[in-house]
Chains A and B, each alone.
Chain A
């Protein structure tokens, strides 16, 4: 059972997303801030972290950097509500992001994509 950590300041969003992904068979935990997210990651050691780029106490890129330092294996998916410039995207990938998704997202597609990334990582 893969563990997912969802970091977003919007409680509805992270709850709805968590519950949809739980239906898909993932074990989900949530965090509302960057700080609590990092703390949660330390505690649960998630396989996948889905985080918003804009958080009240920090940027998603910083969490991305921190988490990537902790673990090379964790799949990091960045969520955004706006268009990102290619510069930003490049920066994110350099800091260790694996995927970008734009709100609102196709959940079936996301589910498949996560499963794909997980199976590829297991194969490694």
Chain B
């Protein structure tokens, strides 16, 4: 399923160029073609009009000359030239019978006196006239013939045609005996024009007297059959100012009409045939052609736009795909890139180059990612190692500080111990001396003195005990481990421990009875310290429990020493293993510090679990001795 096509600017630009390239020449050519066609069409129209005008000028000439010839033939007949009125009347009646357009005929003698007058609707004996001064008479006598004197019989145009009556055989030849005159109706010309120029084409044709615009004939009978029908002065002026015998062109009249007109002079006469047509009708063909050309042009434009759009899309599509793909690539998406088939052109090469680039980038990015991951992994490992090393260092530092502190304490305790022991020894010696002296003197002993001597002795012991404790804790003694079976060792320890009577011992030893490597002196001190503490917190009555338990993996063994004393709150539990921390009225605060030191020296640990009101349980965890350790001995 193709995504909806969104055209980019490129497609529109190409579209624009395509249109410019294809339409601009077509427009120019089309414009010129239209111009040429139109002008030739106009020329053709005009020339047709000219032909029509010329043709009809010929027709009009023939029309009138036909009647002149009839008259001339009649006048040339010997019998007619004899001027016998009776005979002549026969001829005239014949003519009137045959030629309906001839309205009346007259014959006058050489002096102009009318001899004979025949005509339709004239009655039997019309009055005879004298034509002595008439133009037709003078012209006919002089030149032999005359066509002219246009006038209207009512509304119908007529012309006068006259020929000289000459006896051809009588000498001297050419001397006229009279004149034969006819008045001819010109309605026939109008009929003929009407047939040649039907009213539909809006074209009109007229035959006009050049001299005064007398309208002889018109394609529209209504125009000519009027009492004073004549051509407008403007048109007449245009026609009469032409020098050529025939011609035509466009006319722009003052009343706004635009016409295409043509004219042709009628031979030997002052008549002109005038053909005219309103310009819009005359050029209707040209306009039609123009319209059609524009329609086709529009179709072509639409077609070219569609074609260009398709072409632009076709060209722009791979580029658009490339752009989309490049954008995806830019975001680091190597997959899900639109499918692009490289074509065998520059765009195809671009596509191929892009695909190659993608592969390269993908590979490089993959390498980079891998390198980054490896780097991160290494970094993590490094961090871990640094952390571990830091922890080790911190532990080592703590240990060192601890050791240094212990060493300092030891040194101080050693000095202090030695220095205090001397005076203690002196006091001890002196009190012994006094005691002995008093004992020697019989009955001289005061009970109170004895009591105070005992107090001094007791205090000396206690002071010495404190010094011993401090020295024991601070002394850097080498550990002397030996392998013992734990149960037997504890049994022995408990059997010699002086439990006071108000204390119940609860003993429960793991039957696994594991072997342990311990410095018995120190470990004994530690266990005794714990039992001492337990007894001390239970002055009235209570239970001391001693349990052992082997761990599940049999790697370690735990020794629990518990009491049912008052217990300790958590904040006290945190501090009890610190040296010199004590809750007792008298005490160095070294008992549990010694326990911890001993446990540490045995690669073990000590912790406490205490509930206020219920009691306290200390736990020493020691490693179980491995099978083949040297120095093992049976318990």
| Residues of chain A whose beta carbon lies under 8 Å from any beta carbon of chain B | 10, 12-13, 16-17, 19-20, 23, 54, 81-83, 85, 102-105, 107-108
Contacts and interface: CB of A to CB of B under 8 A. Distances in A.
26 contacts: A10-B422, A10-B426, A12-B423, A12-B426, A13-B422, A16-B430, A17-B425, A19-B429, A19-B433, A23-B433, A23-B436, A23-B440, A81-B419, A81-B422, A81-B425, A82-B417, A82-B421, A83-B472, A85-B477, A102-B421, A103-B424, A103-B425, A104-B427, A104-B429, A107-B428, A107-B432
Contact of A105 (B425, B436, B477): B425
A82 B437 CA distance: 30
B460 interface: yes
Contacts of A108: 432
B437 A13 contact: no
Contacts of A54: 418
Contacts of B424: 103-104
A83 B413 CA distance: 11
Contact of B429 (A83, A85, A107): A107
Contacts of B478: 85
A83 B282 CA distance: 150
Interface in B465-490: 471-472, 475, 477-478
A20 B436 contact: yes
Contacts of B417: 81-82
B471 A16 contact: no
Contacts of A20: 429, 432-433, 436
B432 A82 contact: no
B409 to A, nearest CB: 14
A61 to B, nearest CB: 16
Contact of A17 (B419, B429, B436): B429
A13 B418 CA distance: 13
B464 interface: yes
B460 A104 contact: yes
B418 A104 contact: no
Please provide the 5 A-B residue pairs with the shortest distance between their CB atoms, ordered closest to farther.
A16-B429, A81-B418, A103-B425, A104-B425, A81-B421
A54 to B, nearest CB: 7
B513 interface: no
Nearest to B461: A104
Nearest to B433: A20
A83 B433 contact: no
A112 to B, nearest CB: 13
B588 interface: no
A13 B432 contact: no
Contact residue range for chain B? Answer: 20 to 34
Nearest to A10: B422
B240 interface: no
Interface of B: 414, 417-419, 421-430, 432-433, 436-437, 440, 460, 464, 471-472, 475, 477-478
Nearest to B476: A85
B388 to A, nearest CB: 37
B519 to A, nearest CB: 13
A13 B429 contact: yes
B464 A104 contact: yes
Contacts of B432: 20, 107-108
Given A83-B471, A104-B428, A16 B421 contact: no
B425 A13 contact: yes
B243 to A, nearest CB: 162
A9 B437 CA distance: 26
Contacts of A85: 477-478
A35 B444 CA distance: 43
Nearest to B464: A104
Contacts of A13: 422, 425-426, 429
Contacts of B436: 20, 23
B431 to A, nearest CB: 9
A82 B418 contact: yes
Most A-side CB within 10 Å, residue of B423, B432, B471? B432
Contact of A16 (B418, B419, B426, B464): B426
Contacts of A103: 421-422, 424-425
A82 B425 contact: no
A10 B498 CA distance: 38
Nearest to B439: A23
A17 B425 CA distance: 9
A103 B461 CA distance: 11
Contacts of B471: 82-83
B475 A83 contact: yes
Given A82-B471, A104-B425, A104-B428, A23 B437 contact: yes
B474 to A, nearest CB: 10
A102 B475 CA distance: 16
A88 to B, nearest CB: 12
Nearest to B474: A83
Most A-side CB within 10 Å, residue of B417, B440, B472? B417
B530 to A, nearest CB: 23
Most B-side CB within 10 Å, residue of A16, A81, A85, A108? A81
Contacts of B429: 13, 16-17, 19-20, 104, 107
Contacts of A81: 417-419, 421-422, 425
Most A-side CB within 10 Å, residue of B417, B436, B460? B436
Given A19-B429, A20-B433, A81-B417, 7 more contacts: A10-B422, A13-B425, A16-B426, A16-B429, A20-B432, A23-B433, A85-B477
A53 to B, nearest CB: 10
Given A20-B433, A23-B437, A83-B475, A105 B414 contact: no
Contacts of B475: 83
Nearest to A87: B478
Contacts of B433: 16, 19-20, 23
Nearest to A79: B425
A6 to B, nearest CB: 11
B133 to A, nearest CB: 193
A12 B424 CA distance: 11
Nearest to B413: A82
A83 B472 CA distance: 8
Nearest to B419: A81
